[in-house]
């Protein structure tokens, strides 16, 4: 479940998930489902490609959040485990990485 997007909590009653598999990634983006492929490299480097989603009609605040989320996925350049139960997605920004999204995984 998404815990934060650009430092903000997700909208109440919206579910945003991310699942990695050997052949791609996917999940729920707030109103729609999405999927794509990723290219992983050493050091946590990541590139998300061929991202696509369903096109269900959604209410405006969720549409904005969903667009921001899929944009963050497309622009991500690295992933980093924040703790044993969470994952951060990062975007290169000049000479450092800026957190764009954080997920709570499994257990807690």
Rounded to 5°, the CA angle 43-49-54 comes to 130
- The answer to whether 22 and 13 have CB atoms below 8 angstroms apart is no
pLDDT band at 99 (very low <50, low <70, confident <90, very high): low
Distant-in-sequence, close-in-space partners of 94: CB < 8 Å, separation ≥ 6: none
19 closest CA partner among 38, 4, 43, 6: 38
Q: Which CATH number fits domain 2-102: 2.40.128.270, 1.25.40.20, 3.40.50.300, 1.10.3720.10?
A: 2.40.128.270
Grouping H, G, I as helix, E, B as strand and the rest as coil, residue 87 is: strand
DSSP assignment letter at 44: G
Task: For 28-80, write each residue's pLDDT tens digit.
Answer: 999 999 999 999 888 888 889 999 999 988 899 999 999 999 988 888 888 77
Q: State the pTM of this model.
A: 0.80
Exposed (0-12), middle (13-18) or buried (19+): which is 69, by Cβ within 10 Å? buried
pLDDT band at 108 (very low <50, low <70, confident <90, very high): very low
Q: Would the pLDDT of 84 be above 60?
A: no
């Amino acid at each position: 479940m998404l815990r934060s997007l650009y430092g903000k909590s997700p909208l109440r009653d919206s579910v945003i998930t991310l699942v990695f598999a050997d052949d791609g990634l996917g999940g729920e983006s707030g109103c729609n489902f999405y999927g794509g492929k990723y290219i992983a490299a050493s050091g946590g480097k990541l590139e998300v490609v061929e991202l696509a989603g369903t096109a269900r009609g959604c209410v405006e605040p969720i549409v904005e959040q969903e667009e921001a989320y899929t944009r963050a996925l497309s622009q991500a350049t690295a992933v980093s485990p924040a703790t044993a139960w969470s994952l951060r997605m990062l975007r290169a920004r000049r000479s450092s990485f800026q957190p764009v999204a954080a997920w709570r995984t499994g257990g807690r």
